[in-house]
Chain A
Amino acid sequence: MPETSKMKKPDVKVVLLGDMNVGKTSLLHRYTERKFKDTISTVGGAFFLKQWGPYNISIWDTAGREQFHGLGSMYCRGAAAIILTYDVTNWQSLAELEERFLSLTDTANHDCIYAVVGNKADLTDPTAQQSQDTDGMSEDQTECEDRTEPEVLSTSLTSSASPKQVTHEDAMALYGRILRYKGLEEKSSLPAEKMCFETSAKTGYNVDTLFETLFDLVLPSILRKRNEYQESPTVDLEECRGGSSKRARSSCC
Chain B
Amino acid sequence: MSVKAFELVPAVERDLLMGDKARINIECIECCGKHLYVGTNDCFIHHFLLDEVTSSKGKLSYSAQKLLHKYLGLKKPVAELRAASALERLIVLCDGIVFLVDMVTLETVPSAAGGGAKIRGVTAFCINENPVNGDPFCVEMGVLSSKRRTVQIYMVYEDRVQLVKELTTPEQPCAVSLDGYFLCLALATQYMILNYNTGASQDLFPYNSEERRPIVKRIGREEFLLAAPGGLGMFANAEGVSQRAPVNWSESVIGAAVCFPYVVALDESFITIHSMLDQQLKQTLSFRDGHILQDFEGKVILASTKAVYVLVPLPLERQIQDLLASHRVEEALILTEGAQRNIPKDKFQILHKRILQQAGFIQFGQLQFLEAKEHFRKGQLDVRELISLYPLLLPASSSFTRCHPPLHEFADLNHLAQGDQEKVLRCKKFLISYLGEVRSTEVANGCREDVDTALLKLYAEQDHESLLDLLASDNACLLADSVPWLEKYHKYFALGLLYHYNGQDSAALQLWIRVVDGDLQDSTRSDLYEYIVDFLCSCFNLDLVWKYADWALRKDPTTGVHIFTRRPVCKGQTQLNPDDVITYLGKHDQALLLYLEHLVLERRIQKEKFHTHLAVLYLERVLLLLSQLPTDEEKLTRARERLQALLRESNLYRVQFLLGKMENSEQLLLERATLHGKLEEHDKALHILVHKLRDFPSAEAFCIWASSSRDSAYRQQLFHLLLGVYLDGNPPGKSQTAAGGGSGDLEMAAVDLLNRHGEVFDAVRVLRMLPEGWSLQLLRPFLGRAVRASMHACRTSQIALGLAHSENLQLLHDRLKERKKPIFVSEKKGCHLCHNTFSEPSVVCLPGGVPVHTHCIAQRVRDSPTKRQLTNSSNHT
A65 CA to B337 CA, complexed, in Å: 33
| Pair A2/B330 contact, Cβ less than 8 Å | yes
Q: How many whole Å from B239's CB to the nearest CB in chain A? A: 7
Query: Which residues 208-264 of B sit at the A interface, judged by CB distance below 8 A?
Result: 228-230, 232, 234, 236, 239-242, 245-248
| Pair A73/B205 contact, Cβ less than 8 Å | yes
The chain A residue with its CB closest to the CB of B202 is A77
Residues of chain A lying within 8 A (CB to CB) of residue B334: 1-2, 5
Q: Which among A43, A63, A73, A74 has the highest number of chain B CB atoms within 10 Å?
A: A74
| Pair B232/A73 contact, Cβ less than 8 Å | no
A160 CA to B242 CA, complexed, in Å: 40
A1 CA to B333 CA, complexed, in Å: 11
Interface membership of B726, Cβ < 8 A: no
Residues of chain A lying within 8 A (CB to CB) of residue B236: 74
| Pair B241/A74 contact, Cβ less than 8 Å | yes
| Pair A74/B232 contact, Cβ less than 8 Å | no
Residues of chain A lying within 8 A (CB to CB) of residue B230: 43-44, 63, 65, 67-68
Residues A70 and B207 in contact in the complex (CB < 8 Å), given A2-B333, A4-B277: yes
The chain A residue with its CB closest to the CB of B231 is A43
Q: How many whole Å from A93's CB to the nearest CB in chain B? A: 20
A74 CA to B193 CA, complexed, in Å: 12
Q: How many A-B residue pairs have CB under 8 A?
A: 75
Q: How many whole Å from B58's CB to the nearest CB in chain A? A: 29
Interface membership of B338, Cβ < 8 A: yes
Interface membership of A223, Cβ < 8 A: no
Interface membership of B802, Cβ < 8 A: no
A196 CA to B338 CA, complexed, in Å: 38
Q: How many whole Å from A41's CB to the nearest CB in chain B? A: 11
**How many chain B residues touch A (Cβ–Cβ < 8 Å)?**
29
| Pair B245/A44 contact, Cβ less than 8 Å | yes
| Pair B241/A77 contact, Cβ less than 8 Å | yes
Residues of chain A lying within 8 A (CB to CB) of residue B206: 70
The chain A residue with its CB closest to the CB of B330 is A2
Residues A6 and B337 in contact in the complex (CB < 8 Å), given A44-B245, A67-B229: yes
Residues A47 and B245 in contact in the complex (CB < 8 Å), given A4-B277, A5-B334: yes
Task: Identify which of B203, B207, B246 contacts A44 (C-beta below 8 A).
Answer: B246
A63 CA to B333 CA, complexed, in Å: 28
Residues of chain B lying within 8 A (CB to CB) of residue A67: 229-230
Query: Which residues 60-88 of A sit at the B interface, judged by CB distance below 8 A?
Result: 60, 63, 65, 67-68, 70-71, 73-75, 77-78
The chain B residue with its CB closest to the CB of A43 is B248
Interface membership of A184, Cβ < 8 A: no
| Pair B278/A74 contact, Cβ less than 8 Å | no
Query: Which residues 341-363 of B sit at the A interface, judged by CB distance below 8 A?
Result: 341
A1 CA to B232 CA, complexed, in Å: 20
Task: Identify which of A1, A6, A44 contacts B228 (C-beta below 8 A).
Answer: A44
Interface string of B398-433 (1 = CB under 8 A from A): 000000000000000000000000000000000000
| Pair A74/B330 contact, Cβ less than 8 Å | no
Residues of chain A lying within 8 A (CB to CB) of residue B228: 44, 68, 70-71
Interface membership of B152, Cβ < 8 A: no
Interface membership of A45, Cβ < 8 A: yes
The chain A residue with its CB closest to the CB of B206 is A70
Query: Which residues 619-667 of B sit at the A interface, judged by CB distance below 8 A?
Result: none
Query: Which residues 81-107 of A sit at the B interface, judged by CB distance below 8 A?
Result: 107
The chain B residue with its CB closest to the CB of A7 is B338
Interface membership of A235, Cβ < 8 A: no
A2 CA to B337 CA, complexed, in Å: 9
Q: How many whole Å from B323's CB to the nearest CB in chain A? A: 13
A215 CA to B334 CA, complexed, in Å: 26
Residues of chain A lying within 8 A (CB to CB) of residue B279: 46
Interface membership of B271, Cβ < 8 A: no
The chain A residue with its CB closest to the CB of B230 is A67
Q: How many whole Å from A179's CB to the nearest CB in chain B? A: 25
Residues A75 and B242 in contact in the complex (CB < 8 Å), given A2-B330, A4-B277, A70-B229: yes
Task: Identify which of B242, B337, B338 contacts A74 (C-beta below 8 A).
Answer: B242
A13 CA to B277 CA, complexed, in Å: 18
Interface membership of B151, Cβ < 8 A: no
| Pair B245/A73 contact, Cβ less than 8 Å | no
Residues A5 and B205 in contact in the complex (CB < 8 Å), given A43-B230, A74-B236: no
Interface membership of B204, Cβ < 8 A: yes
Interface string of B180-220 (1 = CB under 8 A from A): 00000000001000000000000111110000000000000
Query: Which residues 1-43 of A sit at the B interface, judged by CB distance below 8 A?
Result: 1-2, 4-7, 43
The chain A residue with its CB closest to the CB of B190 is A70
The chain A residue with its CB closest to the CB of B189 is A70
| Pair A68/B240 contact, Cβ less than 8 Å | no
Q: How many whole Å from A45's CB to the nearest CB in chain B? A: 6
Residues of chain A lying within 8 A (CB to CB) of residue B234: 44, 71, 74
Given A7-B341, A45-B242, output 20 extra A-B contacts at Cβ < 8 Å. Answer: A1-B278, A2-B330, A5-B333, A44-B228, A44-B246, A44-B247, A44-B248, A60-B245, A63-B230, A68-B230, A68-B232, A70-B207, A71-B205, A71-B228, A71-B232, A71-B246, A73-B203, A74-B241, A77-B239, A77-B241
Interface residues of A (CB under 8 A from B): 1-2, 4-7, 43-47, 60, 63, 65, 67-68, 70-71, 73-75, 77-78, 107
Closest 3 CB pairs of A and B: A44-B246, A70-B206, A5-B334
Q: Can you list 5 residue pairs at the A/B interface with Cβ under 8 Å?
A: A1-B278, A47-B245, A70-B229, A73-B205, A74-B236
